Every structure is written in C-alpha cells, then in structure tokens.
C-alpha cells in the first residue's frame, strides 16, 4: 500500500479527503467532530471499535491503517483480537465469525498463538451460530492441542479454552460433563503461579455455580457463587458481580431461605442499575416477583 513512513493521523485525513467526506460526515454515528479532528492531529487515538467503523465508512480494509511501520502506533493482530473480544462480550457471534473467516488465510494468523485464538473463537461461533456442538468441541479441543496435546499443566489461555468447552456443555444441558470440565479448569487455574486476567476465575465460578443450580445442587452452587462474589470484592472487580448476586439469591430461595434470597436479588438489581444495565435489572425484578409469589 506504500504507506510506510506516514503517520496514522495523516493517513486518516488523506483518506477522508480522498473519499470526499467532511469531518462531520465521517464522524457521524462514530464519534464527535472534535474527536475525529483529534484523531487526525494524533492528539488521541480511536478505540478499535471506532477504527473498525471508520474503516467501514471509508470502504477500506481495517489493516489499511496498520501498514505504518515507522510509528508502530497500532498492531494489527492485537487490534483484531481485541475486536473479537469486544464482540464476544456483546455475544455478536456473527461479527466474530466473519472476522475469523476473513483472517484465517492471513499469514500473520498462522502464528501458533494467533491460530489458536482464531480456532478457539471459531469453535464458540460454530456452536452459537450453527448449533453444531460436535464440530464446536472438535475445534476447541484442537485449539488446546496446538500448544498442549497432553492437556497437562494447562496455561491460562488453555484454561480459558477449556472453560469455553464447559460453558457449551452447560448451555447444551450436558450438566454432569459441564461440572466435571469446570472443576478441571478450576483445579488447573489454582495451580498457576500468576493469573494475568483475574476475570477467568469469575467465569469459571459463575459457570460452575449455574451448572450446579441446573442440577438442583443448590447448596453446592451457593459455595461457588459466593466465592465469586468474594473474588470480585477482593479484586475490586465488578465483572459478573450482579450475575453472581442473582445466582446466590436464586440458590437461597431454592433451599428455602427467602430472606437471604430476597436480599441478594435486591443487591443484584442495585448492581445492574449502577452498571446502567436496565435490561438485566428489569429481568431480575420480574424473576424476583415471580419466585417470591409462589414460595
């Protein structure tokens, strides 16, 4: 593309002008005019999601902005993985799948770690988009095998992939297997000397608690949902904090402790409202009303 030696802001501004767009036209629906001007002046940089939207509007490939070897401002592979993570948080599996199919033949993603990352997320997408559990689990197991065919002394990344296997087993109502795989992931995680992303603890604890509740093992489920809450408090992390309170409240109600159950559910509503998650707060309020009505 011949862009080596140019700066990101210069590339963005020249592309906008070349496409005959005003600052207002390009910024519309993505950011403010002031922000776009600051991007062009390199006073600040867009988020990966904003950059993705800018590329779409300018009708260029995302990697157009990454062929800037002299500045090293962006790393294309990191940008793509971060975009996939964002879409995963939003459960936009269609968007993830489209990115994966586009990047699979990219030589950059032939590197072991990046190839594993794509396989992992392809496995997730195959289950939630096409409901092909066998193919999904095959891809996830292949992803683990790339770096650890013996599945001994799993790394943090490998444990995350194993957790995805457990979540799919849970969501497909294969609860006994889900509990076993969640427990395996938890044991492996406890053996690691250091965790880069503490949220993996919460994903495992929450998933295990859900699987146990679905198996009507409410007292055991409560152990893990409360461990998750303690972990959130210890790490000063709000990730899954509301969900874990909801899970604990449901467990207390199921074992007949209505007062504690109501307290936890009310806390879940408060947390969701603080997080401006009106959808979840409304759902918990409705669920609480139904549960307590018939208890």
Q: Given this model, what pLDDT does residue 295 score?
A: 60
Q: Given this model, what pLDDT does residue 72 score?
A: 43
The answer as to whether 84 is a domain residue is no
Q: Given this model, what pLDDT does residue 278 score?
A: 92
The answer as to whether 280 is a domain residue is no
The answer as to whether 175 is a domain residue is no
The answer as to whether 4 is a domain residue is yes
- Given a contact cutoff of 8 angstroms between Cβ atoms, the answer to whether 55 and 99 are in contact is no
Residue 28 maps to which CATH number? 1.10.260.40
- On the CB side of 71, CA atoms within 13 Å amount to 18
Measured CA to CA, the distance from residue 130 to residue 137 in angstroms comes to 13
| pLDDT tens by residue, 170-220 | 999 999 999 999 999 999 999 999 898 989 999 999 999 999 999 999 999
The answer as to whether 55 is a domain residue is yes
Identify the weakest region by mean pLDDT among 11-25, 208-222, 280-294. 280-294
The answer as to whether 234 is a domain residue is no
Tell me which residue range forms the domain holding 12: 1-74
Measured CA to CA, the distance from residue 178 to residue 274 in angstroms comes to 32
Q: Looking at the 3D structure of the chain, how many domains does it have?
A: 1
The answer as to whether 46 is a domain residue is yes
The answer as to whether 165 is a domain residue is no
Highest mean pLDDT among 9-23, 90-104, 205-219: 205-219
Measured CA to CA, the distance from residue 43 to residue 46 in angstroms comes to 10
């Amino acid at each position: 593309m011949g862009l080596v030696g140019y700066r990101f802001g210069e590339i963005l501004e020249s592309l906008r002008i070349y496409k005959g767009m005003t600052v207002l036209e390009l910024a519309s629906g993505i950011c403010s005019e002031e922000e776009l001007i600051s991007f062009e002046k390199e006073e600040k940089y867009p988020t990966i999601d904003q950059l993705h939207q800018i590329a779409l509007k300018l009708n260029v490939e995302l990697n157009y902005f990454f062929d800037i070897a002299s500045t090293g401002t962006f790393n294309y592979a990191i940008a793509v993985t971060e975009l996939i993570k964002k879409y995963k948080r939003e459960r936009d599996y269609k968007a993830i799948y489209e990115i994966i199919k586009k990047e699979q033949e990219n030589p950059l993603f032939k590197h072991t770690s990046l190839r594993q990352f794509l396989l992992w997320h392809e496995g997730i997408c195959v289950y939630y988009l096409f409901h092909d559990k066998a193919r999904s689990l095959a891809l996830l197991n292949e992803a683990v095998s790339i770096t650890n065919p013996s599945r001994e002394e799993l790394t943090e990344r490998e444990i995350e992939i194993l957790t995805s296997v457990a979540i799919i087993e849970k969501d497909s109502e294969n609860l006994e297997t889900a509990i076993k795989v969640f427990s395996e992931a938890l044991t492996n995680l406890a053996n690691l000397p250091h965790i880069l992303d503490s949220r993996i603890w919460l994903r495992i604890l929450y998933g295990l608690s859900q699987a146990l509740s679905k198996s009507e093992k409410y007292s055991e489920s409560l152990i893990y949902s409360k461990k998750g809450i303690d972990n959130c408090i210890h790490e000063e992390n709000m990730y899954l904090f509301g969900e874990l309170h909801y899970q604990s409240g449901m467990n207390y109600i199921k074992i007949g402790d209505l007062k504690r159950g109501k307290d936890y559910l009310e806390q879940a509503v408060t947390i969701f409202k603080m997080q401006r998650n009106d959808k979840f707060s409304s759902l918990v309020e409705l669920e609480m009303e139904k549960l307590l009505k018939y208890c």
